[in-house]
Amino acid sequence: MCKIVVGEDNVITQQVIEAMLEGRCSKLWIAGNYAELLQYLKEESPDLLLLDYHLDKDANEGIAEIRAINKTIPIYILSADAEPAISRKMKGAEVAGFLQKPLNLPMLEQIMRPFSAKVGEAAASPVAGEYLANLKTLLGHNPERLQRIVKIFIEEAPSHFAAMQTLIDQKQWPQLKALVHRVRASYGYLGLQTLHQRITQWETDIEHQRNTESYPSILQEIKSATEKLIEEIRQAVKS
């Protein structure tokens, strides 16, 4: 299950997030300021960070301090402001996405999916089974073909990530974009929508050569999330 840290100074919002995530994450830390938040990150290794844009210091400065401690944790900015305005103010700071306040459960469930299994159900099945549902339909519920496709995905992932790292090191941006574009389709077919969206966003950044210094950490973020899902996908294919 997903481990989440939240940086939020509004007590009502803290309570709402705590209520929505109860039973849906294995551990939840809530920090009311950056000092508390940074201390949590020094002591713990959460899967996700939900960060209020208006915490007690400038978001760009705060994220720089976070990245000095944890370079790979996906950061989702919480704000009631419109996303385009926040994006401009953040000057390209490395974040995984934005969540509009007031928050709702579908928003949180979507970003937790790569890290979580569904809970609260009798005999809960791996969340990866849901991911594969569309692919099973597309394949006419052919288990052999499904296993073959998943096997290809699992076997190719390490070489793809290694090739991406090499292209980043060599600053070969057109080749990196082409490879990311090719890999992105696999995540879409497997139903890994959150990762698919993240890779789509990264592909756009590569195309315009934006924030190239953040590419290694973005790659690590995608790689880590993929590795966590692979075992769940293996189990789902067997069912």
| CATH T-level topology, domain 127-238 | Four Helix Bundle (Hemerythrin (Met), subunit A) (1.20.120)
Residue 44: partners with Cβ closer than 8 Å, 6 or more residues away:
3, 5, 27, 29
Residue 224: partners with Cβ closer than 8 Å, 6 or more residues away:
72
List the domain boundaries for the chain: 3-112, 127-238
Domains 3-112 and 127-238 share a fold: no
Whole-number pLDDT of residue 29: 95
Q: What residues in the chain have per-residue pLDDT under 50? A: 117-127
CA neighbours closer than 13 Å in the CB half-sphere of residue 175: 11
User: Per-residue pLDDT tens for 187-199?
Assistant: 877 777 778 888 9
| CATH T-level topology, domain 3-112 | Rossmann fold (3.40.50)
User: Per-residue pLDDT tens for 35-61?
Assistant: 999 999 999 989 999 999 989 999 999
The answer, as to whether pTM is greater than 0.85, is: no
